[in-house]
Amino acid sequence: GAGVSQTPSNKVTEKGKYVELRCDPISGHTALYWYRQSLGQGPEFLIYFQGTGAADDSGLPNDRFFAVRPEGSVSTLKIQRTERGDSAVYLCASSLAGVYNSPLHFGNGTRLTVT
Amino acid sequence: DQQVKQNSPSLSVQEGRISILNCDYTNSMFDYFLWYKKYPAEGPTFLISISSIKDKNEDGRFTVFLNKSAKHLSLHIVPSQPGDSAVYFCAAIRASNTGKLIFGQGTTLQVKP
């Protein structure tokens, strides 16, 4: 079946604007994760959903960042009042269950550039 | 505070030889470790994992070794192939944070034909 799909693949926005990044997980995967990868670094955890609820949002850097997964499938990461430091590749992943029982399947990411 | 460290940014090996990628961690609460491979413009792909109750796990050409006392793990690729050229990330997790993988900075492996 299809893998994790992320749209858009690239997003350029001006400082101060609002952006939404979308993630379509693999069908049937209950767990969904958002990570952020800056140049030369490994992926950095943002938030983890189990079903519709955020099981761990400790990685969200501040209240400008918010994510939802209203029906337990598609998720949207929302960033308000974007700053140049938000520029990064935003990765979404899904898994059948938690990390211990099934590996994370990552999408190709959305490259966000804030000018 | 970098809890998972990959101190070698890059590694170059000849095709057919062994590639050894290293990873160190500081948090003794980590109990599960994974390796991911990443090609340019693609998301990371799961390679192999190991539980802290084991010291070795093997899958084809890939073997992961865990030394808990040294807080060190390594990934061995034998024999290395040009298609293995990619960025390799190690990652760790602990039972109380079941969704939160902590990644290292990555090591770029180049396998020369």
How far apart CA B20 and CA B40 sit, in angstroms, is: 21
The answer, for B41 touching chain A at a CB cutoff of 8 Å, is: yes
User: What's the pLDDT score for residue A1?
Assistant: 54
- CA A84 to each of CA A81, A100, B55, B99, B105: distance values in angstroms, whole numbers, following the listed order: 10, 35, 43, 28, 22
- Chain A, 2 to 41: residues with Cβ < 8 Å from chain B are 4, 31, 33, 35, 40-41
Residue identified by tokens 């983890």 is A48
Query: Which of A31, A56, A104 comes nearest B97 by C-beta?
Result: A56
User: What's the pLDDT score for residue B48?
Assistant: 96
The length of chain A in residues reads 115
Q: What percent of chain B has pLDDT over 70?
A: 97
Q: What percent of chain B has pLDDT over 90?
A: 91
A104·B49 Cβ contact <8 A = no
User: What's the pLDDT score for residue B99?
Assistant: 79
How far apart CA A67 and CA A44 sit, in angstroms, is: 15
Residue B31 half-sphere exposure, CB side, CA atoms within 13 Å? 8
Asked whether the predicted pLDDT for residue B20 surpasses 70, the reply is yes
Each residue's pLDDT expressed in tens, for chain A with a length of 115 residues: 589 999 999 999 999 999 999 999 999 999 999 999 999 999 999 999 999 999 899 999 999 999 999 999 999 999 999 999 999 999 999 998 777 767 899 999 999 999 9
The answer, for B108 touching chain A at a CB cutoff of 8 Å, is: no
The answer, for A77 touching chain B at a CB cutoff of 8 Å, is: no
The answer, for B11 touching chain A at a CB cutoff of 8 Å, is: no
What chain B residue is nearest to A90 in terms of C-alpha separation? B43
The answer, for B45 touching chain A at a CB cutoff of 8 Å, is: yes
